[in-house]
A and B are shown apart, each in its own frame.
Chain A
Amino acid sequence: NAGVIQTPRHKVTGKGQEATLWCEPISGHSAVFWYRQTIVQGLEFLTYFRNQAPIDDSGMPKERFSAQMPNQSHSTLKIQSTQPQDSAVYLCASSLPTGNTLYFGAGTRLSVL
Protein backbone atom coordinates (compact mmCIF):
# COMPACT_ATOMS: atom_id res chain seq x y z
CA ASN A 1 0.00 0.00 0.00
CA ALA A 2 1.72 3.14 -1.22
CA GLY A 3 -0.53 5.48 0.71
CA VAL A 4 -2.07 8.63 -0.73
CA ILE A 5 0.06 9.87 -3.61
CA GLN A 6 0.23 13.55 -4.49
CA THR A 7 1.98 15.01 -7.50
CA PRO A 8 3.91 17.14 -8.03
CA ARG A 9 5.63 17.53 -4.65
CA HIS A 10 6.65 21.08 -5.50
CA LYS A 11 5.23 23.51 -8.03
CA VAL A 12 6.35 27.04 -8.81
CA THR A 13 4.09 29.26 -10.88
CA GLY A 14 4.12 32.87 -11.94
CA LYS A 15 1.31 35.17 -10.89
CA GLY A 16 -1.67 34.63 -13.18
CA GLN A 17 -0.68 31.15 -14.32
CA GLU A 18 -2.71 27.99 -13.79
CA ALA A 19 -1.77 25.17 -11.42
CA THR A 20 -3.17 21.64 -11.39
CA LEU A 21 -2.53 19.37 -8.43
CA TRP A 22 -3.09 15.62 -8.51
CA CYS A 23 -4.11 13.15 -5.85
CA GLU A 24 -4.34 9.37 -5.96
CA PRO A 25 -6.24 8.05 -2.92
CA ILE A 26 -5.61 4.72 -1.24
CA SER A 27 -7.32 1.92 -3.14
CA GLY A 28 -10.70 1.13 -1.59
CA HIS A 29 -11.08 4.52 0.07
CA SER A 30 -14.30 6.20 -1.02
CA ALA A 31 -13.82 9.68 0.43
CA VAL A 32 -11.25 12.20 -0.75
CA PHE A 33 -10.54 15.48 1.00
CA TRP A 34 -8.51 18.53 -0.01
CA TYR A 35 -6.94 20.86 2.56
CA ARG A 36 -4.59 23.83 2.39
CA GLN A 37 -1.97 24.40 5.08
CA THR A 38 -0.18 27.67 5.90
CA ILE A 39 1.59 28.90 9.00
CA VAL A 40 -0.94 31.69 9.49
CA GLN A 41 -4.22 29.87 8.78
CA GLY A 42 -3.27 26.34 9.73
CA LEU A 43 -5.04 23.43 8.03
CA GLU A 44 -8.02 24.78 6.08
CA PHE A 45 -10.71 22.55 4.63
CA LEU A 46 -11.34 23.11 0.92
CA THR A 47 -13.60 20.37 -0.43
CA TYR A 48 -14.42 16.68 -0.30
CA PHE A 49 -15.83 13.90 -2.43
CA ARG A 50 -17.59 10.72 -1.46
CA ASN A 51 -17.88 7.95 -4.08
CA GLN A 52 -16.62 10.51 -6.62
CA ALA A 53 -19.54 12.87 -5.95
CA PRO A 54 -18.79 16.37 -4.62
CA ILE A 55 -20.29 16.63 -1.13
CA ASP A 56 -19.06 19.88 0.36
CA ASP A 57 -17.00 22.60 -1.30
CA SER A 58 -17.72 25.29 1.28
CA GLY A 59 -14.02 25.97 1.83
CA MET A 60 -13.18 26.56 -1.81
CA PRO A 61 -12.53 30.10 -3.02
CA LYS A 62 -15.24 30.00 -5.68
CA GLU A 63 -13.75 32.23 -8.34
CA ARG A 64 -10.47 30.51 -9.17
CA PHE A 65 -10.49 27.12 -7.49
CA SER A 66 -12.12 23.96 -8.80
CA ALA A 67 -11.85 20.28 -7.93
CA GLN A 68 -12.86 17.14 -9.74
CA MET A 69 -12.86 13.40 -9.19
CA PRO A 70 -13.40 11.83 -12.61
CA ASN A 71 -12.78 8.30 -11.33
CA GLN A 72 -12.16 6.52 -8.05
CA SER A 73 -8.40 6.51 -8.53
CA HIS A 74 -7.67 10.20 -8.77
CA SER A 75 -8.77 13.71 -7.95
CA THR A 76 -7.49 17.06 -9.19
CA LEU A 77 -7.45 20.54 -7.72
CA LYS A 78 -7.12 23.31 -10.26
CA ILE A 79 -6.24 26.90 -9.43
CA GLN A 80 -6.68 29.43 -12.20
CA SER A 81 -4.87 32.75 -12.31
CA THR A 82 -2.72 31.90 -9.28
CA GLN A 83 -1.97 34.67 -6.80
CA PRO A 84 0.85 34.95 -4.22
CA GLN A 85 -1.69 34.34 -1.42
CA ASP A 86 -2.37 30.89 -2.93
CA SER A 87 1.12 29.82 -1.87
CA ALA A 88 0.67 26.97 0.59
CA VAL A 89 1.01 23.22 1.04
CA TYR A 90 -2.02 21.52 -0.47
CA LEU A 91 -2.84 18.25 1.25
CA CYS A 92 -5.04 15.47 -0.04
CA ALA A 93 -6.47 12.81 2.28
CA SER A 94 -8.65 9.75 1.85
CA SER A 95 -10.71 7.59 4.18
CA LEU A 96 -12.49 4.25 4.20
CA PRO A 97 -16.24 4.10 3.48
CA THR A 98 -17.05 3.43 7.13
CA GLY A 99 -14.02 5.04 8.71
CA ASN A 100 -13.29 8.37 10.28
CA THR A 101 -9.51 8.34 10.04
CA LEU A 102 -7.97 10.52 7.37
CA TYR A 103 -4.86 9.28 5.61
CA PHE A 104 -2.89 12.21 4.25
CA GLY A 105 -0.56 12.43 1.32
CA ALA A 106 2.78 14.19 1.59
CA GLY A 107 1.32 17.31 0.00
CA THR A 108 2.13 19.63 -2.88
CA ARG A 109 3.99 22.80 -1.98
CA LEU A 110 2.75 25.54 -4.30
CA SER A 111 4.84 28.69 -4.60
CA VAL A 112 3.39 31.60 -6.61
CA LEU A 113 6.00 34.18 -7.52
Chain B
Amino acid sequence: QQKVQQSPESLIVPEGAMTSLNCTFSDSASQYFAWYRQHSGKAPKALMSIFSNGEKEEGRFTIHLNKASLHFSLHIRDSQPSDSALYLCAVSTGYQNFYFGKGTSLTVIP
Protein backbone atom coordinates (compact mmCIF):
# COMPACT_ATOMS: atom_id res chain seq x y z
CA GLN B 1 0.00 0.00 0.00
CA GLN B 2 1.16 3.53 -0.77
CA LYS B 3 3.08 5.24 2.04
CA VAL B 4 2.92 9.02 2.12
CA GLN B 5 4.99 11.00 4.61
CA GLN B 6 5.12 14.72 5.26
CA SER B 7 7.69 16.94 6.90
CA PRO B 8 7.89 18.90 9.03
CA GLU B 9 4.98 17.98 11.32
CA SER B 10 4.56 21.60 12.31
CA LEU B 11 5.98 24.92 11.30
CA ILE B 12 5.80 28.46 12.65
CA VAL B 13 6.87 31.31 10.35
CA PRO B 14 6.57 35.10 10.46
CA GLU B 15 4.27 36.92 8.12
CA GLY B 16 5.95 37.55 4.77
CA ALA B 17 8.28 34.55 4.99
CA MET B 18 8.71 31.79 2.40
CA THR B 19 7.28 28.48 3.64
CA SER B 20 8.33 25.07 2.30
CA LEU B 21 6.43 21.85 2.93
CA ASN B 22 7.61 18.39 1.89
CA CYS B 23 5.96 15.13 0.87
CA THR B 24 7.47 11.76 -0.01
CA PHE B 25 5.67 8.76 -1.46
CA SER B 26 6.54 5.10 -1.93
CA ASP B 27 4.85 3.98 -5.16
CA SER B 28 6.87 4.91 -8.26
CA ALA B 29 3.74 4.32 -10.41
CA SER B 30 2.04 7.34 -8.82
CA GLN B 31 0.67 9.76 -11.40
CA TYR B 32 -1.20 12.50 -9.56
CA PHE B 33 0.10 14.71 -6.78
CA ALA B 34 -1.87 17.32 -4.89
CA TRP B 35 -1.92 19.58 -1.87
CA TYR B 36 -5.01 20.17 0.24
CA ARG B 37 -5.49 22.78 2.93
CA GLN B 38 -7.66 22.28 5.99
CA HIS B 39 -8.51 25.17 8.26
CA SER B 40 -9.37 24.29 11.83
CA GLY B 41 -12.76 22.58 12.07
CA LYS B 42 -13.30 22.70 8.31
CA ALA B 43 -13.18 20.21 5.45
CA PRO B 44 -9.97 19.73 3.46
CA LYS B 45 -10.00 21.75 0.28
CA ALA B 46 -7.88 21.21 -2.83
CA LEU B 47 -5.15 23.80 -3.23
CA MET B 48 -3.23 22.74 -6.33
CA SER B 49 -2.03 19.65 -8.17
CA ILE B 50 0.55 18.45 -10.67
CA PHE B 51 0.93 15.46 -12.98
CA SER B 52 4.38 15.73 -14.53
CA ASN B 53 7.86 16.45 -13.28
CA GLY B 54 8.76 20.06 -12.80
CA GLU B 55 7.18 23.10 -11.31
CA LYS B 56 3.77 24.75 -11.34
CA GLU B 57 2.97 28.18 -9.96
CA GLU B 58 -0.40 29.62 -8.99
CA GLY B 59 -0.22 33.01 -7.32
CA ARG B 60 1.85 32.75 -4.14
CA PHE B 61 1.91 28.94 -4.29
CA THR B 62 4.40 26.76 -6.18
CA ILE B 63 4.47 23.00 -6.37
CA HIS B 64 7.63 21.05 -7.30
CA LEU B 65 7.59 17.40 -8.34
CA ASN B 66 10.53 15.02 -8.71
CA LYS B 67 9.18 11.56 -9.49
CA ALA B 68 12.63 9.94 -9.52
CA SER B 69 13.18 11.10 -5.95
CA LEU B 70 9.60 10.16 -4.96
CA HIS B 71 9.22 13.69 -3.62
CA PHE B 72 7.12 16.77 -4.12
CA SER B 73 6.85 20.02 -2.25
CA LEU B 74 4.72 23.12 -1.76
CA HIS B 75 6.24 26.57 -1.42
CA ILE B 76 4.26 29.54 -0.17
CA ARG B 77 5.69 32.95 -0.97
CA ASP B 78 4.87 35.92 1.29
CA SER B 79 3.08 33.76 3.86
CA GLN B 80 -0.03 35.33 5.41
CA PRO B 81 -1.81 34.66 8.72
CA SER B 82 -4.76 33.38 6.67
CA ASP B 83 -2.44 30.62 5.39
CA SER B 84 -2.39 29.13 8.89
CA ALA B 85 -3.90 25.67 8.48
CA LEU B 86 -3.14 21.96 8.20
CA TYR B 87 -1.58 21.14 4.82
CA LEU B 88 -2.16 17.64 3.47
CA CYS B 89 -0.40 16.09 0.52
CA ALA B 90 -2.21 13.47 -1.56
CA VAL B 91 -0.96 10.89 -4.04
CA SER B 92 -2.82 8.69 -6.51
CA THR B 93 -1.80 6.13 -9.11
CA GLY B 94 -4.50 7.37 -11.50
CA TYR B 95 -8.26 7.16 -11.29
CA GLN B 96 -7.84 5.28 -8.05
CA ASN B 97 -8.06 6.12 -4.41
CA PHE B 98 -5.97 8.91 -2.95
CA TYR B 99 -3.53 8.41 -0.10
CA PHE B 100 -2.81 11.32 2.21
CA GLY B 101 0.05 12.23 4.48
CA LYS B 102 -0.60 13.06 8.15
CA GLY B 103 -0.21 16.75 7.44
CA THR B 104 1.94 19.74 8.32
CA SER B 105 0.44 22.26 10.71
CA LEU B 106 1.43 25.76 9.58
CA THR B 107 1.15 28.83 11.80
CA VAL B 108 1.95 32.24 10.35
CA ILE B 109 2.63 34.85 13.01
CA PRO B 110 1.59 38.45 12.21
Residues of A within 8 A of B (CB): 4, 33, 35, 41-43, 45, 48, 50, 55-56, 58, 91, 100-107
Contacts and interface: CB of A to CB of B under 8 A. Distances in A.
Contacts of B95: 50, 100
A102 B98 contact: yes
Given A43-B103, A45-B97, A100 B44 contact: no
Given A43-B88, A48-B97, A104 B49 contact: no
A106 B43 contact: yes
A91 B97 contact: no
B11 interface: no
A32 to B, nearest CB: 11
24 contacts: A33-B98, A35-B100, A41-B102, A42-B88, A42-B100, A42-B103, A43-B44, A43-B88, A43-B100, A43-B103, A45-B97, A48-B97, A50-B95, A58-B1, A100-B34, A100-B49, A100-B95, A102-B36, A102-B46, A102-B90, A102-B98, A104-B44, A106-B42, A106-B43
Most chain B Cβ neighbours within 10 Å, of A33, A56, A100, A106? A100
Contacts of A106: 42-43
Nearest to B90: A102
Contacts of B97: 33, 45, 48, 55-56
Contacts, number: 50
Contact of B102 (A35, A42, A45, A56): A42
B72 to A, nearest CB: 14
B6 to A, nearest CB: 9
Most chain A Cβ neighbours within 10 Å, of B46, B90, B92, B103? B46
A59 to B, nearest CB: 8
Nearest to A43: B100
